[in-house]
Each structure stands twice: as C-alpha cells, then as structure tokens.
Structure 1
C-alpha cells in the first residue's frame, strides 16, 4: 500500500531514520518522582522532595495538598550546600519557630543534601521530611550521598541525551537541505533521481507500472529575459504549486534541470500519466500570472513515458525517452503533451 506522505513536498517526506525518531525521553519530573519514591522507602520517611529550581512550579497556585505544603516548607529554607540534618525541628534554633513546625502539619524531621551540576555548583536539594523526630544514622547519610550521585548522573545523562537529540535534528536538517532545491522547495536532481530508482525497484517487485513526466514552463526563458531571474523564479514556484495540486501525495516532484521538472508516478500506466500530464497542463494554462503589472499566459509542455510500454528500461533510458518526448511536445508548438517513442529524435534539451 502506498504511503500517504506527500513525496512531491520534501518537507513532509524526510524519514526519521532508524529507530531514533521513536525514542521518547522521560520528563525530568517523571525521573525525579521515581527517585522520590525510592528515597521515601529507603529512609522510611513520610516524603522525599527532590528539586532543581523552584519547587512551587510543581503545584497549582494556591494548592493546599500535603505535598504542596511540604514543598512550601522546603522552599522557605536556604538551599543546603552540604548535608543538613535536623533530627528534631522543635529543637533547632532557626527552624523551631517555623509556622509549619509550630502549627499544622507539624513537621518534626528534616534532612537536606545538595545536588550539584558537572561544574560542581549546587543546583538543587534532596529533602527528606517526616512528622516524627528521629535520628539520621551514619549509614543513612552515606546512602543519601550515594542517591545524590545517582541523581546527578541521571541529570548529566539527560543533558547528554538532549544534546544528542539536537545533533540528530541538525543532521536531519542538513540532510533535508542537501536534498531540496532551495528556490522551488522540490527535490533536487540527486534526490529525485534516487527517488526514481527506489520507486522503480518497488514497482518492479510488486509488478506495477511506473511513469515519468518531464515538464517545462514554455515561457520561462522569455520571462527571464524580460523581467529577470527573480521573476522567473517566482513563476516557477507558482507552477510547482499547481503541479502539486494535480498529483497524488505519494508522487515525487523534483527539479531535474534548470527549467525542467521530473515527476515520478509509481503505479501509473501510460494512460494514467497522460491524464495527469493533461491535468497539469490545463491547471497551469488556466491561471495566467501578473508579472510587473503585465498579465502573462503560462503554459507547459510535457513528455511522458511508462514502464508498461518499456518494461525492461533502466532509469537512464526512461529519463532519455521522457526528455525526447518533451522535445517533441516543444517542437509541436508548446502547450502540448507527448508520449515517448523510440522513433523520436535522439536530442536532449
């Protein structure tokens, strides 16, 4: 079954490549929540909050859940730059008067440990909270330090992942740019030639025909001579838009030469290709263009060839036949569609 991607428009057709595009990195909050659950069980406390930056952003404004209140308590304290242990908050000279200690929910135990970045700067804390006072033994202190190392490595891994994803995006962008005609936004010659080979192999395996249309704007040289390259490019861009409206999403459109378009029609017989070429010809002819205030009648000429007529032809032969057919259409006086024939003159335009 043919893909519904628009192969005439490279912007919709660049494949992601391999399985990389299927990767979905977990959000930082999901990773942090996993560590928080582990820490709560590991240290036997009511809650663990791991935060990088402002804890308040994790909750809705005005939220009064227990977790939000605990986050408010942590945010109100200075970010710990070393292990900070308060076995009993009611006996600590600074925290004892805190409203969440003297009043509900009556926090009685608090431990904080710094999280550092690769430069060694403190970027966050691991905070352990409980509602009963109890000691924090040496083994627990070592475990908390180990947990901090794991979190820091997870953060570093996430940074590397994001950097890797950015490199992949840049690579795809460069690859896309290398395959696209910068003026028209179609495939360039190398890309459309590769597409032709791929589609020929696919159609051959499925025993389906494949057709080519070679087309050119009849007035392009005249527009360029009278109005300049910029206006000729504009005319070509408009023609590309009309061609795309006349082909299927999975047909491929490319700029094969300076003024020549190559359209690859997988699964199309000569009859179908003729109908498509005629539709394109009428579509272009029906839309005159304004160029520097002058109404210009645009027409195209097209040559077509299909593997149902030349089943054993290689891509180069099909291209040559399509070029000859285009020459025949031009010779007939422009605004024509001509079918390929071995009897046509061996001249490449």
Structure 2
C-alpha cells in the first residue's frame, strides 16, 4: 500500500488548517446541501469534504459514509492535496498503489476516487472535495471542470466561515480538544457535554442582554422499532437524517 507523502510545507499547512477552526465542529447545513447536490450531479455513492489533519482525515461534510474520520495513512485525500489538479483513481483494485489499501479490500470497498484539493486564502491545501464509488468509473473533461467548480464553491464558503462572528465566538469559547470531546461522531451534533456547556453560556448571555432564551426538546417516537425492524445501520441513518433536518431548520447562531 502506498501511503501519502507529507508535503514539504506541512508545518505551515497544518497551522493554517488549525487556524480555520474547522476540525471537530458540528456538521454544516450549507455543506450538507452542497455534497448532496454533488452526489446527484456525479451519480456516485459517497461525497466528502475531507480535511487532512496530523494523522487522520476528518470529514466536515459527508454523504454515503457512516464514519467521521479515517487514518491519514490510508487516505486517498492525503495524496490529492499534494497537487493542484484533481487526483483521480478510476479503479483502485487494479492500481498497484492502492489495491491492498484497507478501504479498497474492506468497507467501503472503494474502487473509484476523484478528489479536488481545497485551498486556503494563502494557497495551503487543507483537504478535498472528493467523490467515491464502489465500482470503477471515469470522468470526462466536462465533469472534471464541474468538480473544480464545486470545489471552488466549498472553498469560498469555508473562507467566509473562517472570518464569521460565529467562528470567532467558537474560537474564544472552546479549545479544539474540548470540541472533540463534545461532538457526537455519528450525528455530528453537540453531545450532552456540549449541551451543558452551551446552555450555561447562552443563559448567561441572555441575562446580560435582557433577552429570553428558547429551548426546544425533540424526541424521535418509536425509534426502537426502527432498529428492531431494519437493523442498527438503518437506525443510524435515521439519526443522521434527523440531525440534518434539525440543523437545516434553525439559524446559524442556534446550537443543536
């Protein structure tokens, strides 16, 4: 198996990624929408917005994959960030660089991969917008241009997000390690520890500003029946979809 090389500018690249405050943050409804459009546009099973961290690739947005991260050593995106053009593998099982890669020989049984690097404002490759499919596939010139264009949209949104007031507040409120402990890996929403942290903060801010605080509690009725009838995989998917629906229905400053 060919593991990805470490870029020569890795220290600077990692620092820029850390400064973006993207790692270990909740799923974003706008990026969720974009990866859904990309999946339909390219007719693939999985689309990811993948960020290359020290020893892992972490998925800021994902559709078609039920895990939050994988080791960097087995990542295709780790190879993709080494260039500026799309990195395309038409059939990984027939490619000597990847044929014995665990994500090829095992779940998700990757065959086709296409990843366009995502660059920061100063040109550092932070990760990729990538397409994955369990059958060999090719992209024509038009599709490659479309992949670049969609990646440009992701880059633009990430740049706007990095200077938003929400990101400034998040940076001031929580360290990265704190965020990691407060994020549910399945739904990519804040977990109970996150609730306890943010509820106290929001109560304090509401009192200081003379405002009222609204709290909504949602319960999924008969959820056990989903697991019992269709299996835990379907149950996980129901939780994921429910989380996306809730996050898309609230304002950016609201906490889910």
- TM-score by length of structure 1 reads 0.34
Q: Which has the higher contact order (CA 8 A, sep 6+)?
A: 2
Select the structure of larger CA radius of gyration: 1
